[in-house]
Structure formats: structure tokens, C-alpha cells
Amino acid sequence: MEIQKTDIEGVYIIKPDVFGDSRGYFYESYNKKRLAELLPDIPEMVQDNQSKSSHGVLRGLHFQNPPYAQAKLVRVVSGKVLDVAVDLRPGSKTFGKYVSVELTGENMLQFFIPEGFAHGFSVLSEEAVFQYKCSNYYNKASEGGIIWNDPTIGVDWKLNPEDVMLSDKDKVHPTLVEWAKLNGIDFKNEK
């Protein structure tokens, strides 16, 4: 297993050891002990989720507010997505910045996103099966979000905006500036 740092502290791309032969392949998609050796601060994962989506679906940008904040370990079982993590940690030197990575069933990469980040993904293949582990249980009352096309963040989702398919709730999230103001965060000082 190889851990790759990203431009944002605490966010990692994980490349598993894949063993292939004429029959196919095998790899450990999760090994709590091995991951803790490589990333000692990684929290315990307590919930697994899976979704299936078609091309153009964009899910995000989501997060859970404390005390139900979640770290996530995400991967794609089949298909291809652009996965995005946006830093919402007050006081972080990368507040409002994002990291993205293409996750596919073929590259088998995983993306670790700590607490304090908004997370989302866009489906770039015909369909994709997306799987993620969470460090805390889902709590509907603590849901939060930032609008997917926030110009301050400027994510290139690799989709034509007219083709993006969103849930009703993902159409009405606040911008990063609006969210920061609602939470008493001086956005200008965070940048």
C-alpha cells in the first residue's frame, strides 16, 4: 500500500497493492491495522455506504457538522468519478481550497478525507458504483453542504454544466462565503 500526500494537509490518495494474474486480481480494499501503521491519525471507520449513479450525476458537496463530523475513505468499485474534497477547517491555511482525484474501478485508488471537509463526486463514466467508509454514523440533523458550482471554490467537475444531474437538496446549498458567514468565519482571513 502506498500513501500519496496531496496539496492539502491530511488528505491522502491511497494506492493499494494489487496482485494480478491470468485469473484476474486480488487486493485488500481495507486493512485497519496496515492503514493505521501508515496513517497513525486515521480514525476508526464505523459505517460503509455504497451508491450507484449514472453519467452526469453529481453528489455534493456534503459534510456532517460536529459532533457527527465524518472522515471518509472512498473508492470506486466500477466506473469512473471525479472525487473532490474542499477544506472547511477554520484557521486552515488551505480553507476554501480543494483537492480532486479521478477514482476508477481500474486504477483502484482510494481517497482519504478527514473531518472538516465538504465532499462530492461527479460521474464521468456511463455509470459508477461508489463505496465509502465513514468514521461516524450518519445523522440527518447534522447534514450540511456547499453549492457544487461555487465560483469561489471553482471546481472543474469535468462535466458540461447543462448535463449535471443533482438532487433537490444539492441545488440549494449555500455558497462557501454564505456558509462561512453563517458560521462566524471571517472568510477573508481564512484565505
Residues designated as active site: 62, 132
End-to-end Cα, the chain, rounded Å: 34
Residue from 140, 118, 14 nearest 62 by CA = 118
Grid cell 445523522 in the structure block, residue: 139
Separation between Cα atoms, residue 75 and residue 1, nearest integer Å:
14
Q: How many residues does the chain have?
A: 191
- Strand order through the sheet with 58-64: 98-104, 80-87, 117-123, 58-64, 143-145
Residue 10 C-beta-side C-alpha neighbours within 13 Å = 20
